[in-house]
Amino acid sequence: MQLQQSRRIFLASSAAPLAARSAFGFPANETVTTAVIGMGGRGNDHMKELGKMPNVYVAHLCDPDAKRLQSAVDNFDKAYGKQPGASRDFRRVLDDKSVDAVFIASPNHWHAPMAIAACNAGKNVYVEKPCSHNPHETELLIATTEKHGRLVQMGNQRRSWSRIREAMQRLQEGVLGRVYFAQAWYVNSRQSIGRGVEQAPPKDLDYELWQGPAPRKPFHSNYLHYNWHWFWHWGNGELGNNGVHMIDLCRWGLGVSRPVGVRSAGGRYRYTDDQETPDTHHVAYDFADRKTIVWEGFSCNPPPTGKAPADVVFLGEKGSLAIRDGSYTLHDPKGKEIEKQSGKGGNVEHFTNFIESVRGRAKLNSPIPEGGATTNLCHIGNIAHRCNRSLRIDPQSGTIVDDREAMDYWKRSYQPGWEPKVV
């Protein structure tokens, strides 16, 4: 199938969900019709898992890069013998009234604006982490969810892993007594992104649509398809990229939400190139009830063992609990391992929780107020880094206290006509 941008192609694809419901033989109230927006690595993960789920129909795939979109459509057809509708413009997907839920795996600067537009269009939303590009967008997204009564879940999938949920329940039940400290790590061996040059966008990419709500910038050769993470204009650095997963576990296990203070140290140390965000980053969050979260990210130089001591370690009065992947271990006050519970996890558990919630059979494991609280911790950690000073936070509102420069990062400027709005 050759990918085309035409009203005829889109109208044909938008009629497919209703026909498919009948062809699949599922009652209409059982089948959840979905669309996946953003066909990079995560979007393809979404597509593959949804394609295998019973009573889930993938009606549309969407990406402003025609080459990536065509590849995704072909791969879906090869795997499942079905060709979903294809559109480069997500707004055409939102026009399809048969779509019950959209899965957003676009670049970060699109996460909240796209999710807000989807809620405004009456869709339920699964949005990848971080759920926003800045704290103001988090606030808008929560407000949109509340106004329209939509279900919005963030892609912090460990919230649905059985052993992780068990570990958190045991912490809350007092297995360590009072838990007061959590430390998390992320390590990798990323290479330099080099020095990009201004050039014309790839011919297959609708760069205007890719930029969307972000103020316009000339295309550079080292933006795509992943390095946008390391530019503040589009991304949120490693803290918002992978740190969000482990900080979410820290916050969950400690039972905290908004800090009273944030400290940051680090920078772009390993290479001298165009990357703006830190590759070596230490962030500490202090909470009012004598609790602290520390996150350390080493994107370009892992420790001697090649991995971090754990994903997350909790310290309490009676010992410690360590999490790695989907498993956890308990240790006595002297550090001796006294119990190990093995487990694993992936995407399907979190996707299933979302789909079952759309059907009304479950409650979201990560409703957007929870995902948003974690995302905003990452945002203010980045703000502390960019301002190069500690920040005081109002634990009631979550906003930065007596620091106008820092609060200037609370909200971004938008390309005129693309501002996210609750309607």
Band of pLDDT at residue 48, cut at 50, 70 and 90: very high
Say whether pLDDT at 287 is over 50. Answer: yes
Digit-coded pLDDT (tens) for 357-403 = 999 999 999 999 999 999 999 999 999 999 999 999 999 999 999 99
Digit-coded pLDDT (tens) for 319-337 = 999 999 999 999 999 999 9
CATH topology of domain 7-158: Rossmann fold (3.40.50)
Residue with tokens 């905290």: 256
Higher pLDDT, 3 or 197: 197
Closest residue by Cα to residue 70 from 82, 58, 90, 87: 87
Higher pLDDT, 302 or 314: 314
Separation CA 256–CA 289 (nearest Å): 9
Band of pLDDT at residue 21, cut at 50, 70 and 90: very low
The mean pLDDT of 394-415, rounded to a whole number, is 97
CB-based contact 142:116 (threshold 8 Å) = no
What are the start-end ranges of the H helices in 102-176? 108-120, 135-148, 162-173
Backbone angles phi, psi at 418, to 5 degrees: -115, 10
Say whether pLDDT at 26 is over 70. Answer: no
Mean pLDDT of the chain: 93
Digit-coded pLDDT (tens) for 67-94 = 999 999 999 999 999 999 999 999 999 9
Whole-number pLDDT of residue 30? 87
Q: Give the H/E segment covering residue 19.
A: helix 7-24
Q: What is the DSSP letter of 202?
A: P
Q: What one-letter code names the amino acid at 79? A: A
Digit-coded pLDDT (tens) for 129-163 = 999 999 999 999 999 999 999 999 999 999 999 99
CATH topology of domain 162-194+219-346+367-407: Dihydrodipicolinate Reductase; domain 2 (3.30.360)
Band of pLDDT at residue 423, cut at 50, 70 and 90: very high
Digit-coded pLDDT (tens) for 102-136 = 999 999 999 999 999 999 999 999 999 999 999 99
Whole-number pLDDT of residue 141? 98
Separation CA 113–CA 95 (nearest Å): 16
In degrees, rounded to 5, the angle at the alpha carbon of residue 393 between the alpha carbons of residues 391 and 398 is 135
Q: Give the H/E segment covering residue 210.
A: helix 207-211
Whole-number pLDDT of residue 29? 58
Whole-number pLDDT of residue 64? 98
Separation CA 185–CA 335 (nearest Å): 19
Band of pLDDT at residue 10, cut at 50, 70 and 90: very low
Q: Kindly report whether the global pTM for this prediction surpasses the value 0.85.
A: yes
In degrees, rounded to 5, the angle at the alpha carbon of residue 213 between the alpha carbons of residues 208 and 214 is 80
Q: Where are the domains of the chain?
A: 7-158, 162-194+219-346+367-407
Separation CA 396–CA 410 (nearest Å): 16
Say whether pLDDT at 6 is over 60. Answer: no
Band of pLDDT at residue 25, cut at 50, 70 and 90: very low
Whole-number pLDDT of residue 8? 29
Say whether pLDDT at 182 is over 50. Answer: yes
The mean pLDDT of 7-26, rounded to a whole number, is 37
Band of pLDDT at residue 305, cut at 50, 70 and 90: confident
Whole-number pLDDT of residue 306? 84
